[in-house]
Amino acid sequence: MAKVIPFKGVLYDPQKVDANLTMAPPYDIVTPEFKKTLYEKSPCNIIRIDFGKDSDDDNDNENRYTRASGFLADWLDGGILIRDPEPAFYCYEISYEINGQTKKARGFLGAVRIEELGTGRIHPHEMTYSKPKSDRLNILKYCHAHTSPIFSLYSSEEKRTSSILENLVREKPFIEAKNGDGFIHRLWRINNNASIDTIKKEMADKDIFIADGHHRYETSLKFKKEMEEKGLIKTGEEPYNYTLMFLANIEDDGLTLLPTHRIVEVDSNINIKETLKQHFDIRKISGPGITEQQARQQMFEAMQNKAHSFGMFLTNTNNYYTLSAGGPKIELDMPECLRNLDVTVLHKLVFEKLLKIEHYEYEMDAAVAVERARKGPFEAVFFLNPTEIHDVKEVALAGERMPPKSTYFYPKLLTGMVIYKF
Residue 370 has a pLDDT of 97
CATH architecture of 260-385: 2-Layer Sandwich (3.30)
pLDDT at 339: 85
Nearest to 391 by CA among 407, 375, 376: 407
Q: Residue 180 class from Cβ within 10 Å (0-12 exposed, 13-18 middle, 19+ buried)?
A: exposed
The end-to-end CA distance of the chain, in Å, is: 23
C-beta separation of 321 from 285 below 8 A: yes
- Give the C-alpha separation, 354 to 391, whole Å: 25
Q: What are 32-84's pLDDT values in tens digits?
A: 999 999 999 999 999 999 999 999 999 999 999 999 999 999 999 999 999 99
3-state per-residue secondary structure call for 232-289:
CCCCCCCHHHEEEEEEEEHHHCCCEEECCEEEECCCCCCCHHHHHCCCEEEEECCCCC
The pTM assigned to this predicted structure is 0.90
Helix, strand or coil, per DSSP, at residue 16: coil
Ranges of each domain in the chain: 4-256+409-421, 260-385
Contact 72, 49 (CB under 8 A): yes
Confidence at residue 311, expressed as pLDDT on a 0 to 100 scale: 97
Query: pLDDT for 394-411, tens place per residue?
Result: 888 888 888 888 989 999
pLDDT of residue 327: 58
At residue 239, φ and ψ (nearest 5 deg) are: -60, -25
Check residue 181 and give its pLDDT.
Answer: 84
Q: Which is more confidently placed, 204 or 331?
A: 204
Distance CA 8, CA 84 (A): 5
HSE, CB side, 13 Å, CA atoms: give it for residue 237.
4
What is the share, in percent, of the chain residues with pLDDT greater than 70?
98
pLDDT at 18 > cutoff 90: yes
Helix-helix angle 64-77:131-143, to 10 degrees: 40
Q: Are 243 and 398 in contact (CB under 8 A)?
A: no
pLDDT per position as a tens digit, 266-293: 998 999 999 999 889 999 998 888 999 9
Separation CA 116–CA 399 (nearest Å): 12
Helix or strand holding residue 313 (H, E): strand 309-314
